Amino acid sequence: MSAAVLALAFGTAGGGKVLAQAAAPSLAAPSSPSQGKTLQRIQSSGVVVIGHRESSMPMSYVAHGTPMGYSVDVCLQVAQALGRHLKLRETKVAYRLVTSSSRFDAIEKGEVDLECGSTTNTAARRERVAFTIAHFIASSRIVVQSDKPYSRIEDLDGKTLASTAGTTNIDSLAREAATKSVRVRIEPAKDHAEGFGWVVSGKVEGFAMDDVLLYGLRASHTKPQDLKVIGKPMTIEPYAVAFERNNPELKAVVDAELRRLIQTRELHRLYDKWFTQPIPPQGINLGMRMPHLLVDSLKYPSDYVPQ
């Protein structure tokens, strides 16, 4: 299967944007009622719609007008696997921008087929969507200005912090503060870039988010040395692709492709591409070796998450 190379951009209802790769019409087998809405939609249109993020570098972000990142590359492989399963002559891919607050609605409304961002698999979220095997494991920490005397959450007592609306980090920050008897005010940011920008401008003292995203934001800043990531990990965050719930056929195809990527070590090559080599738009190299938790989890691929 090959995806066409011509990219088209067009507006969508609700203010989102879809970047679609144009391709010749596909010839596919008739859809089956047992396929579920997602597979029927892909069968009919020949298009897999990937939900991506704006600024979740290096997982899922936009550079030079193009969605990209580690999670996006994983989903491109899954999209081709779906095309093979449905016997499409050619698999087309379209992109739709989603946020932390809109991503699950987009799946439930059928606006995206695969949500490919920095999304943690949790029990509460599994009430709305399905997840496949984790392709990354992050932990929640806090970024602050380097010249501030902060090294742990206790140092932020009485301060205002931020985290992104619709993420697990807001709850984990509140729990951690309560556990440590730290009084903080938490401001919800609309996205990661806004929350990070508030730290840079001094509007808030710290921004709590997954460590990999904090390092990505810090590395892309004009003066990365002016910011530091502090504190012990507050949570463990297994990132996974999200998609339609209660669709066994779809889940079987997605899970099988993740296992193939892991067993062939193609996932490891994708990891190296985004974490140990220069990446767009500024040629930054995060220099992040694969976390031990992820190395261990990939030895026994499973979508099981005890939370």
Q: Which CATH class is domain 7-135+240-299?
A: alpha beta
Determine the average pLDDT of the residues in 288-301. Answer: 93
Q: In the chain, what are the domain boundaries?
A: 7-135+240-299, 139-237
Report the pLDDT value the prediction gives residue 304, as an integer from 0 to 100: 86
pLDDT for 29-38, tens place per residue? Answer: 454 544 689 9
Report the pLDDT value the prediction gives residue 189, as an integer from 0 to 100: 97
- Of 14-18, 52-56, 136-140, the one with minimum mean pLDDT is 14-18
pLDDT for 98-113, tens place per residue? Answer: 999 999 999 999 999 9
C-beta atoms surrounding 158 within 10 Å? 9
Q: What percent of the chain has pLDDT over 70?
A: 88
| Residue 257 pLDDT greater than 90, yes or no | yes
Instruction: Check if 7-135+240-299 and 139-237 are the same fold.
Output: yes
C-beta atoms surrounding 1 within 10 Å? 13
Determine the average pLDDT of the residues in 279-283. Answer: 94
The second-level CATH assignment, the architecture, of 139-237 is: 3-Layer(aba) Sandwich (3.40)
Q: Read off the amino acid at residue 133.
A: I
Report the pLDDT value the prediction gives residue 7, as an integer from 0 to 100: 36
Report the pLDDT value the prediction gives residue 36, as an integer from 0 to 100: 81
| Residue 303 pLDDT greater than 70, yes or no | yes
3-state secondary structure the chain: CCCCCCEEEEECHHHCEEEEECCCCCCCCCCCHHHHHHHHHHHHHCEEEEEECCEECCCEEEECCEEECHHHHHHHHHHHHHHHHCCCCCCEEEEEECCCCCHHHHHHCCCCCEECCCCECCCCHHHCCEECCCCEEEEEEEEEECCCCCCCHHHHCCCEEEEECCCHHHHHHHHHHHHCCCCCEEEEECCHHHHHHHHHHCCCCEEEEEHHHHHHHHHHCCCHHHEEEECCCCCEEEECCEECCCCHHHHHHHHHHHHHHHHCCHHHHHHHHHHCCCECCCCECCCCCCCHHHHHHHHCCCCCCCC
Query: What is the spatial distance between Cα 142 and Cα 70, in angstroms, rounded to a whole number?
Result: 22
pLDDT for 38-75, tens place per residue? Answer: 999 999 999 999 999 999 999 999 999 999 999 999 99
Query: What is the spatial distance between Cα 133 and Cα 239, in angstroms, rounded to a whole number?
Result: 8
Mean pLDDT over all residues of the chain? 90
**CA-based nearest residue to 59, from 234, 190, 211:** 211
Determine the average pLDDT of the residues in 206-232. Answer: 94
Burial 219-245 (b: 16+ CB within 10 A, else e): bbbeeeeebbbbbeebbebbbbbbbbb
Q: Residue 12 — pLDDT band, cuts 50, 70, 90? A: very low
Pair 75, 120: CB distance under 8 Å = no
Determine the average pLDDT of the residues in 20-25. Answer: 41
Query: What is the spatial distance between Cα 10 and Cα 216, in angstroms, rounded to a whole number?
Result: 28
Report the pLDDT value the prediction gives residue 307, as an integer from 0 to 100: 67
* Residues 6 or more apart whose Cβ sits within 8 Å of residue 95: 17, 18, 19, 20, 49, 50, 51, 52, 67
pLDDT for 156-215, tens place per residue? Answer: 999 999 999 999 999 999 999 999 999 999 999 999 999 999 999 999 999 999 999 999
Q: Residue 97 — pLDDT band, cuts 50, 70, 90? A: very high
Report the pLDDT value the prediction gives residue 306, as an integer from 0 to 100: 76
- pTM score, two decimals? 0.82
